[in-house]
Amino acid sequence: MLKKILVANRGEIACRIFATAKRLGIATVAVYSDADRDSLHVSMADEAIPIGPAVASESYLNIEKIVRACKETGADSVHPGYGFLSENAQFRDALDEANIIFIGPEKLAIESMGDKITSKLIAEKAGVSVIPGFTDVVKDADHAANISKDIGYPVMIKASAGGGGKGMRVARNEEECREGFKRARNEASSSFGDDRIFIEKFIEEPRHIEIQIIADGSGNTIYLGERECSIQRRHQKVIEEAPSPFLDEETRRAMGEQSCALARAVNYRSAGTVEFIVDIDRNFYFLEMNTRLQVEHPVTELVSGLDIVEMMFVVASGGELSIRQEDISLNGWAIESRVYAEDPLRDFLPSTGRLTNYLEPTGEGVRVDSGVYEGGEVSIYYDPMIAKLVTFGENRDQAIASMSKALDNYYIRGVNHNISFLNSLMNHPRFLAGNLTTNFISEEYPDGFSVDPMSPDDLMMMIAVVVLANHFRLEREAKLSGQLSEHQYRPPHDWVVVAGGESTPASIKALEEGGHVIKVSGVDHHITTDWKLGDPIFNAKIQDRFICVQMETNVNKYVLYYRGAKISAEVLSKRASELSVHMLHKEPEDLSKFLLSPMPGLLVSISVSEGDSVKVGDELAVVEAMKMENSLRAVQNGVVSAVRSAVGDSLAVDQVILEFE
C-alpha cells in the first residue's frame, strides 16, 4: 500500500481523499495557494506545503511546484482529485520521471480520452455508440457555420480539451453558432490552454447518464452501475442520482459493457467515468470519458457500499481488485445536490465572501462532503462549490424526502447560495416523477429562478411559527425587565401578521400539558418545539407533522425559508396594524441608468464607448468570474454617457461599469 499521499488539489475533494487515507493509516500531504492558507484541507492533512499565489496557473496548475512539494515531503504518490492537473498527461510524465506514483490511469488513457475528438474515434473503433458530428478541429467561425449547416441545427459546440461545462455552447442558428464558437474558444483557451473546438449534433430531449468503471492492472475491468446527471445548468451538473429512474436492466448492461470495452481499448487502469447522452427511446451515445474521480462519485459509493478512492489506492499500488463484475450488488437510492456559493435570484451569479454562519445537516443517510468551515472564505479564484450534500434511502422517494429535509437543515450565511433552488428542484412534480432531461432547468425555470410561492396551508403554518417566535421574544423581554415571573402565565394575545402583502389575524395560547395553540384565520395549529430565540433553525411538530424552518429575526420582523420557498413577515398588534397604513415608504434608488457588475470578477472587455447608442440585446461588456465569461447586454435602448470602469479592472458586486443618459 502507498505510504504517503500528496493531494494535488484543494477544497472538498482534497478533504474527501484525506478521509480515506487516514482511515487506512496512510500519511497525507496538502498543498495550498496563498488564498487557501487557512483552508480546511490544509488543517486536515498531516503536512502542508505552500505552492504559490492564488492564481491557479501559478499554484495548483504548476507541475514543477507540485513535484517539488512531493520531493520535499517525501510523498511517494499523488492523487489529483478532479479538475486542475487531474487529466494532464504532462503531469503524469513529470511524476513518472520523479518516480512518484500517480493515482490514476496511464498516459495513453489520459491523452486519448482527454481529447474529445480522439476519444470519439477510439470509441467508434471499440464498438461504442457515438453522436454524429465533425470530429476534426474547427478552424474558425466561418468553418463552424458551414459544418453546423451540414450537420443540421441544433448543434453542440465543444472544446476538445473541455470539461465541467466550460467551453460548451448550444447553437440553433448561424448567429448563435458564430457567437458560441467565439465564446467557447475563449473559455477553452483560458481554462485549459487549448482552444481547439469541435461540433456535433445536439440530441433533443436528452438525458445525461454515466457509467462508473474501475480497472486494475490484471485485466479486471468492472462497472459499478450508472448515475443520472440530467439536472444541469449551463452544462454544469446540479443534481446527480444513482441509479437512474429511466434505465432498464438491458440498457444498463449494454452501457456498462460498452464502457468496459472502451476502457480496455486504452488499457485503462484506475477509476474512470464514461458519459453518455440517452434519448427518449433509450438509445445511448458516447459523450466523453473522464479519466479521473468524478465529483458525483459519492452516490455510487452509497448504493454499492464501496470506497472508490480506496480502490484507486489499491490499483495505483499495483494491487488487484478484490471483486469481479458478478460481485457487484447495488442497493437503495442515493441523490447528490451540489451546494454552490451563487445567487439563484440573480441568474446564479457566483458569490464570494466569508461564511459568517455555517451548519451542516446530520442524520442517518446524510453525507456532506465539504471543504469549508464557519469563518472561512469562499474565494473568487476557484470553483464556487461549497459542498456536496448526499442522501440515501431504500428507494427514490425516501432519498428525495431525506434530501429536502437535509436542505432545510443546511444553514449558510455570509455568501449567497443555491439551497432554496435545490429544494425547489427536490419538490418539483416533474422531478418527483423522474421525468428528466438536460433541458429540465431551462424548461421549468425559463425566466430564471424565483422563490416558490407557498401553498396556502404552508403559509398559514409559517404565520403560526412567527407568532410563536414573537411570543418567545416578548416573553423573554418581559422576564429580563422583571415584568414577568418565571411561573406566571402569560395571557393570550391577538396579533396581525403581515406576510405576502396580506394581513392575517392570529392569536396564541399556551397549553398546560405543553406546547402552544396558535389560531390563524380561525384555524388552530398545535406547535411543540424546543426552539430558543436566536437559534437559526426552527424544528417543531405541528399537529402530526415535523417541520424544519430557517429563520432570521429582527425584533418583530422575520424571514423564513421552507422547502425552497421564502416569506417575510411582520408581527403587529391590532393597533399598530391600524396605524401602519399611515407610515411613509422610502422609494428605492433608480439604478436603471447604470450598467452594474452583477458579480465580483474581471472586466474582460467593453464593447461600447462614450456617446454610443445601444439597443436592447446589444453586448455592452464581458465579465469573467470563476473561469466563466458572462456577457452583459442592454435591457433597454439608450446612449452611453460615461465609461466608469476599464478593461482589466477587478470588479465588485454592483460596481458601475457604464452610465447612460
Residue with cell 510523498: 75
Which pLDDT score is estimated for 301? 98
Length of the chain: 661
* pLDDT above 80 for 82: yes
> Residue 147: enclosing H or E segment and its boundaries?
helix 141-151
Which pLDDT score is estimated for 351? 86
Read off the pLDDT band of 481 (50, 70, 90): low
Which pLDDT score is estimated for 660? 94
User: Domain spanning 456-580: which CATH class is it, in words?
Assistant: alpha beta
Q: Please give the CATH number for the structural domain made up of 207-444.
A: 3.30.470.20
Residue with cell 478512492: 309
Which pLDDT score is estimated for 518? 94
Read off the pLDDT band of 482 (50, 70, 90): low
For residues 568-594, give the mean pLDDT: 81
Q: Tell me how far apart the alpha carbons of residues 553 and 464 are, in angstroms, rounded to a whole number.
A: 15
For residues 285-301, give the mean pLDDT: 97
Q: What CATH superfamily classification does 133-201 receive? A: ATP-grasp fold, A domain (3.30.1490.20)
Q: The domain 4-103 is classified under which CATH number: 3.40.50.20, 3.40.1190.10, 3.40.50.970, 1.10.10.10?
A: 3.40.50.20
Q: Tell me how far apart the alpha carbons of residues 343 and 421 are, in angstroms, rounded to a whole number.
A: 10
Cβ-in-10-Å burial (0-12, 13-18, 19+) of 125 comes to exposed
Nearest Cα to Cα of residue 653 among 371, 237, 345, 234: 345
* pLDDT above 80 for 90: yes
> 262: number of CA atoms within 13 Å, CB side?
38
Sketch the domain layout of the chain as residue ranges: 4-103, 133-201, 207-444, 456-580, 594-660
Read off the pLDDT band of 115 (50, 70, 90): confident
* pLDDT above 60 for 488: no
* pLDDT above 50 for 489: no
| Domain covering 594-660: architecture | Beta Barrel (2.40)
* pLDDT above 80 for 484: no
Q: Tell me how far apart the alpha carbons of residues 591 and 645 are, in angstroms, rounded to a whole number.
A: 16
> Taking the mean position of all CA atoms in its chain, how far away is CA 292?
19
* pLDDT above 80 for 583: no
Please give the positions annotated as active site.
288
> Residue 574: enclosing H or E segment and its boundaries?
helix 574-580
* pLDDT tens, residue by residue, 300-335: 999 999 999 999 999 999 999 999 999 999 999 999
Q: Tell me how far apart the alpha carbons of residues 251 and 257 are, in angstroms, rounded to a whole number.
A: 10
Which pLDDT score is estimated for 163? 66
Task: State yes or no: cis peptide before 245, omega within 30 of 0.
Answer: no
Higher-confidence position of 162 and 421: 421
* pLDDT tens, residue by residue, 615-633: 998 999 998 876 677 889 9
Contacting residues for 191 by C-beta, under 8 A, at least 6 apart: 159, 162, 166, 167, 627
Alpha helices, H only, 61-140? 63-73, 89-97, 107-114, 116-125
Nearest Cα to Cα of residue 303 among 223, 192, 217, 232: 223
For residue 168, give the DSSP letter.
E
Least confident of 132-136, 402-406, 512-516: 132-136
Query: With helix as H, strand as E and coil as C, how does 626-639 read?
Result: CCEEEEEECCCCEE
Which pLDDT score is estimated for 63? 98
